[in-house]
Structure 1
């Protein structure tokens, strides 16, 4: 693993820095930049913003679409090892992974007033970040630019794309060669959660009788209703991993700080005894065990030094900063999709079809409401000679697709299929 760790440090060194955004540059936005492994001079440039809001882009880099990943193995007290990701999206594009909003990942505020977080601040700071980054990297000014994200990023990203487009129209410099955007399992409106119930029924998770009762009593409006109306539904589905209904539910990840601290204490105090016990503080069979390892990796002193993390800027790195206040000011990004479509921007909207958090039914619903003409109707798309999902394209240059067997963070569950899809789409090929 030594060679791969050196590969990582060589790749990242010089590619991870800060860009000052906001009033007085008081928000120091941290980013990881990885050039395309193919032809960085001509390949597209993707700016990636993770959801949450407040989840670090290290999630996407290390667990989903980056060139290396943390090896899933029993933690032994040392820095976790890395493995190559053969399905990295950096094989066909350069990617900027940015930690925004403030207090996400390694991004920090220099003043108390700069620590505020909200949708519109996120939109403006991301827009400012990209223009500043391109000024510092003029060799990428002519590259096609796309904006990508997942989950909650479905709210700010269409707004960010519109802000960039309007900035170009106003003559803001540098001009950005904006081409489109990509979203997976992304929120669009608060009504998205309505579709968890029909999704659950279609997947055989709830009975016909319960589904019919919910439809009758809630009139198909499951948002902002009396919680007593959906208690039965919540109880029946409470044992599921809602991010991927096929996986075992592993609740330990939500209290990861306590688990990590306690496990580290035991390993340090009773190394031999602890390793031989059957204590199950963080079960290896859980897919999200790598998040536990990621905490150790990102907080390793040598890793932080390689990433040029400024001493004293933040304390412990957290995968997601859900405990930091955030103003959700944009209720829906639907109108922004409409505006961007009118301007001719390309978009790829896709869903892992086993995600219960933002079900594919919700995404299909708002796309259908656009009422755009269908160019290529519903059909399977293939990867490695097998059906990988289903797709449909529209006259507004929007492509919708499902990934068969995918969860909420789709490439984490179906890396090869997602790479095939992305490679085709980013190259203007049909799926």
Structure 2
């Protein structure tokens, strides 16, 4: 759930400059106690009152609060006063927090049933991470989900601005929710969020050190299937070879002709380009998010499709470029989600500002993103020195961000091993493998998991999270 492409080149901002500028700006912002949320007791598509506390609202961030960041907050179903508080970002950049809520770690999911023109139905998810923690799902960066900009000047996305806005969001949100000030705080996310989250944690830590208020009881962070160095694609070919997707001969030729570098290959390197074409042909037809899952077309034109079905005008539907995925395709639920989120009654129930956005997209890739954090590796180094806990996990069938890539940068931190490579188990079965380092970082694979792991293996990922968040060994 991420894209590397950008219409902007890398910035030459120094690490110190990126860190200190937002802190100077943040220190000038008067935090006023103003209500920013509304309790939602009923949701269209869900039968009866919600059996958990859901709050939705906006927090203004940026200069003049011109970015109105939308959030879903769900209290822990266990002990909200004492359970940890986690802020969760979905990847992209530009994928809505609702995607994380209903497809990955939240307490709701869409019922898989054929769409008939009525509102899709919601059901409870048994392995929600809200069983053990309070979670704030945030729609950031700008133009993600229901988050909108009030002026054109703040419409540009960048990695560093996302980090600054999330930092500001959390401090403001805590001012409005003082009963959670003492709770242990964590920042979590997956996929592309592996780039901004370490920077967010670093910025919050520095803000605490500088005396910014309110103080945040920051304890650590967690990342799933994370982009980190932006060189993850170099590990796709070794992964594909290990999984039996390409031949020994092609792998050896790729190594020889490309030298292990498969990104931005020199066009003059004819032999490498030839081998890469052979590799692309070999994996064509596979779902890179999960190499065992069905590859189903998904086009973000759900509303047009819906109107065609409601009108029962099948000829019009069939003459378009849309393709309806089979009910057993994972992308079918993405269609259902878009219908649901674009329904007027749903928006009213969620207290969406009327007229603030047009069509809701699960992932909005149409806004350029300036890449000014080329790698988050150095942030991990600094956070390790500060002693923050971290959990890094990967689905072991993910070709998009292969676990080999994540394992490589974790290993290159060069910390000693305190709990060596071993199985972690669930229901007397192997759930994956794990290793823990002296910098309080735990790395884990999820057997059978894809990109991202909780979407494919919810019970296994809940087990990992619930053990880790409780300071237990996996």
TM-score, reference length from structure 1: 0.95
Equivalent residue number for residue 217 of structure 2: 177
Match 1:236 to one of 282, 289, 296:
282
Measured after TM superposition, the shift of residue 288 of structure 1 is 1.8
Give the corresponding residue for 1:397.
440
Residue of structure 1 in register with 2:240 after alignment: 200
Give, in angstroms, the shift of residue 183 of structure 1: 0.2
* Counterpart Cα distance in 1 of 2:49 and 2:110: 13
2:106 to 44, 47, 66: 66
| Offset, 1:429 | 0.2
Aligned to 1:313: 356
1:248 corresponds to 2:294: yes
Instruction: Figure out how many residues of one structure are paired with residues of the other and give that number.
Output: 423
Distance of 2:87 and 2:99 partners within structure 1:
15
- Whether contact under 8 Å (1:352, 1:407) holds in the other structure is yes
CA offset at residue 263 of structure 1? Answer: 4.6
Tell me what 1:379 maps to. 422
Q: 1:6 aligns with which of 48, 70, 74?
A: 48
Structure 2 counterparts to residues 9-408 of structure 1, below 5 A: 11-12=53-54, 15-226=55-266, 228-229=273-274, 230-251=276-297, 253=298, 255-257=299-301, 260-270=303-313, 281-408=324-451
Distance 1:273 1:129 in 2: 45
Q: Deviations over 1:190-249 (max 9, x none)?
A: 221100000000000000011001000000111111462411111111110000100111
| Structure 2 counterpart SS, 1:390 | strand
Cα shift at 1:54: 0.4
SS of 1:7's equivalent in the other structure is coil
Aligned-partner SS, 1:58: helix
1:267–1:274 contact (8 Å) kept in structure 2? no
- Once the two structures are superposed, residues 224-281 of structure 1 have per-residue CA deviations (whole angstroms, 9 ceiling, x without a partner) of 1146241111111111000010011112x1x221x54135313323489999xxx962
1:317-341 CA distances to partner (integer Å, 9 max, x unpaired)?
1001111111111110001001001
Q: How far apart in 1 are the matches of 2:105 and 2:330?
A: 16
Give the match's secondary structure for 1:6.
coil
Deviation for aligned residue 1:296 = 0.5
Checking the alignment, whether the CA contact within 8 Å between 1:9 and 1:306 is kept in structure 2 is: no
Give the match's secondary structure for 1:120: helix
CA RMSD of aligned residues (A): 1.9
Q: Distance in 2 between matches of 1:385 and 1:10?
A: 30
The 8 Å contact of residues 8 and 68 in structure 1, kept in 2 or not, is answered as: no
The answer as to whether partners of 2:45 and 2:119 remain within 8 angstroms in 1 is no
1:422 and 2:465 equivalent? yes
Cα distance, 1:142 vs. partner? 0.1
C-alpha distance after superposition, 1:91-114 (max 9, x if no partner): 000000000000000000000001
Structure 1 distance, partners of 2:327, 2:468, is 35
TM-score under structure 2 length normalisation? 0.86
Q: Partners of 1:266 and 1:172 in 2: how far apart?
A: 53
- Structure 1 residues 375 and 405 mapped into 2: Cα distance closer, same or farther (>3 Å)? same
Q: Give distance in 2, aligned partners of 1:418 and 1:156.
A: 22
* Structure 1 residue 418 displacement after superposition: 0.5
Q: What is the CA deviation profile of residues 25-57 of structure 1, one whole-angstrom value per residue up to 9, with x for unaligned ones?
A: 000000000000000000000000111000001
183-192 or 134-143, which moves further after superposition? 183-192
Once residues 11 and 179 of structure 1 are traced to their aligned partners in structure 2, the CA distance between those partners, rounded to angstroms, is: 24
Paired residues of 2:289 and 2:399 also in contact (CA < 8 A)? yes
Q: CA deviation at 1:408?
A: 0.7
Please give the alpha-carbon distance, in whole angstroms, between the structure 2 residues aligned to 1:180 and 1:10: 26
Cα distance 1:285–1:319, how it changes in 2: closer, same or farther (>3 A)? same
Find the counterpart in structure 1 of residue 9 from structure 2: none
Q: Is the alpha carbon distance of 1:196 and 1:189 closer, same or farther for their aligned partners in structure 2, counting shifts above 3 Å?
A: same
